[in-house]
Structure 1
Protein backbone atom coordinates (compact mmCIF):
# COMPACT_ATOMS: atom_id res chain seq x y z
CA UNK A 1 0.00 0.00 0.00
CA UNK A 2 2.77 2.45 0.91
CA UNK A 3 4.61 1.55 -2.28
CA UNK A 4 1.53 2.28 -4.37
CA UNK A 5 1.07 5.64 -2.64
CA UNK A 6 4.72 6.55 -3.15
CA UNK A 7 4.55 5.57 -6.81
CA UNK A 8 1.35 7.56 -7.34
CA UNK A 9 2.86 10.57 -5.58
CA UNK A 10 6.02 10.38 -7.68
CA UNK A 11 4.01 10.03 -10.87
CA UNK A 12 1.85 13.01 -9.95
CA UNK A 13 4.88 15.17 -9.23
CA UNK A 14 6.38 14.25 -12.60
CA UNK A 15 3.24 15.18 -14.52
CA UNK A 16 2.75 18.33 -12.49
CA UNK A 17 6.25 19.53 -13.31
CA UNK A 18 6.18 18.55 -16.99
CA UNK A 19 4.32 21.74 -17.95
CA UNK A 20 6.69 23.86 -15.88
CA UNK A 21 9.74 22.09 -17.28
CA UNK A 22 8.49 22.74 -20.81
CA UNK A 23 8.30 26.47 -20.04
CA UNK A 24 4.51 26.54 -19.89
CA UNK A 25 3.20 28.85 -17.19
CA UNK A 26 -0.43 29.48 -16.33
CA UNK A 27 -1.27 33.04 -15.37
CA UNK A 28 -3.41 34.10 -12.44
CA UNK A 29 -7.05 34.91 -13.17
CA UNK A 30 -7.94 38.57 -12.68
CA UNK A 31 -10.20 39.73 -9.88
CA UNK A 32 -13.72 40.57 -10.94
CA UNK A 33 -15.62 43.70 -10.01
CA UNK A 34 -19.12 43.60 -8.56
CA UNK A 35 -21.57 44.39 -11.35
CA UNK A 36 -23.98 45.88 -8.82
CA UNK A 37 -21.55 48.65 -7.87
CA UNK A 38 -18.92 48.86 -10.64
CA UNK A 39 -18.49 51.95 -12.79
CA UNK A 40 -18.48 51.66 -16.56
CA UNK A 41 -14.71 52.20 -16.55
CA UNK A 42 -14.17 49.44 -13.97
CA UNK A 43 -16.32 47.05 -15.98
CA UNK A 44 -14.43 47.87 -19.18
CA UNK A 45 -11.06 47.33 -17.48
CA UNK A 46 -12.26 44.04 -16.04
CA UNK A 47 -13.45 42.92 -19.47
CA UNK A 48 -10.00 43.69 -20.91
CA UNK A 49 -8.35 41.72 -18.10
CA UNK A 50 -10.67 38.74 -18.63
CA UNK A 51 -10.00 38.75 -22.37
CA UNK A 52 -6.24 38.97 -21.77
CA UNK A 53 -6.45 36.05 -19.34
CA UNK A 54 -8.36 33.97 -21.89
CA UNK A 55 -5.69 34.67 -24.53
CA UNK A 56 -2.93 33.81 -22.04
CA UNK A 57 -4.71 30.58 -21.11
CA UNK A 58 -5.06 29.61 -24.76
CA UNK A 59 -1.31 30.24 -25.19
CA UNK A 60 -0.63 28.11 -22.11
CA UNK A 61 -2.75 25.30 -23.54
CA UNK A 62 -0.94 25.55 -26.88
CA UNK A 63 2.35 25.27 -24.98
CA UNK A 64 1.08 22.15 -23.20
CA UNK A 65 0.05 20.67 -26.54
CA UNK A 66 3.45 21.42 -28.07
CA UNK A 67 5.25 19.96 -25.06
CA UNK A 68 3.05 16.88 -25.29
CA UNK A 69 4.00 16.15 -28.89
CA UNK A 70 7.28 14.68 -27.72
CA UNK A 71 5.62 12.50 -25.11
CA UNK A 72 2.53 12.51 -22.97
CA UNK A 73 0.64 15.79 -22.67
CA UNK A 74 -0.24 17.00 -19.18
CA UNK A 75 -4.00 16.54 -19.55
CA UNK A 76 -4.67 17.36 -15.92
CA UNK A 77 -3.04 20.79 -16.25
CA UNK A 78 -4.81 21.40 -19.56
CA UNK A 79 -8.23 20.46 -18.15
CA UNK A 80 -7.71 22.54 -15.01
CA UNK A 81 -6.79 25.57 -17.08
CA UNK A 82 -9.87 25.09 -19.27
CA UNK A 83 -12.13 24.78 -16.22
CA UNK A 84 -10.57 27.87 -14.61
CA UNK A 85 -11.03 29.87 -17.82
CA UNK A 86 -14.65 28.76 -18.24
CA UNK A 87 -15.49 29.54 -14.61
CA UNK A 88 -13.95 33.01 -14.90
CA UNK A 89 -15.89 33.73 -18.10
CA UNK A 90 -19.15 32.54 -16.51
CA UNK A 91 -18.56 34.62 -13.38
CA UNK A 92 -17.72 37.69 -15.45
CA UNK A 93 -20.85 37.23 -17.56
CA UNK A 94 -22.97 37.15 -14.37
CA UNK A 95 -21.39 40.41 -13.21
CA UNK A 96 -21.85 41.95 -16.66
CA UNK A 97 -25.52 40.97 -16.68
CA UNK A 98 -25.96 42.58 -13.26
CA UNK A 99 -24.14 45.70 -14.46
CA UNK A 100 -26.30 45.98 -17.59
CA UNK A 101 -29.52 45.47 -15.61
CA UNK A 102 -28.50 48.31 -13.30
CA UNK A 103 -27.41 50.66 -16.09
CA UNK A 104 -30.06 49.89 -18.67
Structure 2
Protein backbone atom coordinates (compact mmCIF):
# COMPACT_ATOMS: atom_id res chain seq x y z
CA UNK A 1 0.00 0.00 0.00
CA UNK A 2 2.92 2.35 0.66
CA UNK A 3 4.14 1.69 -2.87
CA UNK A 4 0.68 2.50 -4.29
CA UNK A 5 0.59 5.77 -2.35
CA UNK A 6 4.14 6.87 -3.17
CA UNK A 7 4.46 5.70 -6.78
CA UNK A 8 2.96 8.59 -8.75
CA UNK A 9 1.80 6.41 -11.67
CA UNK A 10 0.06 3.88 -9.44
CA UNK A 11 -1.52 6.60 -7.31
CA UNK A 12 -2.69 8.57 -10.36
CA UNK A 13 -4.17 5.43 -11.94
CA UNK A 14 -6.05 4.67 -8.71
CA UNK A 15 -7.48 8.23 -8.62
CA UNK A 16 -8.56 7.88 -12.25
CA UNK A 17 -10.28 4.56 -11.47
CA UNK A 18 -12.31 6.03 -8.61
CA UNK A 19 -13.07 9.30 -10.43
CA UNK A 20 -11.02 11.74 -8.35
CA UNK A 21 -9.78 14.81 -10.22
CA UNK A 22 -6.08 15.57 -9.97
CA UNK A 23 -3.75 18.33 -11.00
CA UNK A 24 -1.63 18.03 -14.12
CA UNK A 25 1.61 16.24 -13.31
CA UNK A 26 4.48 14.55 -15.05
CA UNK A 27 7.56 12.52 -14.16
CA UNK A 28 10.61 14.07 -15.82
CA UNK A 29 14.19 12.98 -16.32
CA UNK A 30 15.91 16.16 -17.57
CA UNK A 31 15.94 19.85 -16.80
CA UNK A 32 14.82 20.67 -20.35
CA UNK A 33 11.75 18.42 -20.04
CA UNK A 34 10.98 19.89 -16.62
CA UNK A 35 11.22 23.47 -17.87
CA UNK A 36 9.00 22.72 -20.87
CA UNK A 37 6.34 21.10 -18.66
CA UNK A 38 6.42 23.97 -16.14
CA UNK A 39 6.02 26.53 -18.89
CA UNK A 40 3.07 24.59 -20.34
CA UNK A 41 1.13 24.34 -17.04
CA UNK A 42 2.33 27.68 -15.65
CA UNK A 43 4.06 28.51 -12.40
CA UNK A 44 3.95 27.90 -9.50
CA UNK A 45 4.59 24.16 -9.57
CA UNK A 46 5.35 21.56 -6.91
CA UNK A 47 8.55 19.59 -7.46
CA UNK A 48 9.58 16.42 -5.66
CA UNK A 49 11.70 13.33 -6.19
CA UNK A 50 9.56 10.68 -7.88
CA UNK A 51 9.45 8.27 -4.94
CA UNK A 52 9.37 9.86 -1.50
CA UNK A 53 7.65 9.26 1.80
CA UNK A 54 5.71 12.09 3.47
CA UNK A 55 6.61 14.67 0.84
CA UNK A 56 10.29 14.68 1.80
CA UNK A 57 12.40 17.08 -0.32
CA UNK A 58 9.26 18.60 -1.87
CA UNK A 59 9.29 22.27 -2.84
CA UNK A 60 7.15 24.83 -4.62
CA UNK A 61 8.94 26.82 -7.31
CA UNK A 62 7.77 29.95 -9.08
CA UNK A 63 10.33 30.51 -11.85
CA UNK A 64 12.63 28.62 -14.18
CA UNK A 65 15.59 29.81 -12.11
CA UNK A 66 13.99 28.41 -8.93
CA UNK A 67 13.41 25.14 -10.77
CA UNK A 68 17.05 24.91 -11.85
CA UNK A 69 18.24 25.65 -8.29
CA UNK A 70 15.99 22.97 -6.83
CA UNK A 71 16.88 20.34 -9.40
CA UNK A 72 20.62 20.90 -9.08
CA UNK A 73 20.83 21.34 -5.29
CA UNK A 74 18.25 18.95 -3.92
CA UNK A 75 18.27 16.13 -6.41
CA UNK A 76 20.13 15.15 -9.55
CA UNK A 77 17.43 14.59 -12.14
CA UNK A 78 18.13 11.60 -14.37
CA UNK A 79 16.52 8.39 -15.59
CA UNK A 80 17.52 6.75 -12.31
CA UNK A 81 16.28 9.71 -10.24
CA UNK A 82 13.36 11.43 -12.00
CA UNK A 83 11.47 14.37 -10.55
CA UNK A 84 7.70 14.64 -10.39
CA UNK A 85 6.30 18.07 -11.12
CA UNK A 86 2.67 19.01 -10.65
CA UNK A 87 0.71 22.20 -11.07
CA UNK A 88 0.43 23.99 -7.73
CA UNK A 89 -2.67 25.91 -6.76
CA UNK A 90 -2.01 28.53 -4.13
CA UNK A 91 -4.21 28.43 -1.02
CA UNK A 92 -5.47 24.95 -1.93
CA UNK A 93 -5.33 22.12 0.56
CA UNK A 94 -3.61 18.88 -0.38
CA UNK A 95 -4.90 15.88 1.52
CA UNK A 96 -2.33 13.15 1.98
Give the TM-score of the pair, scaled to structure 1: 0.24
Higher strand share: 2
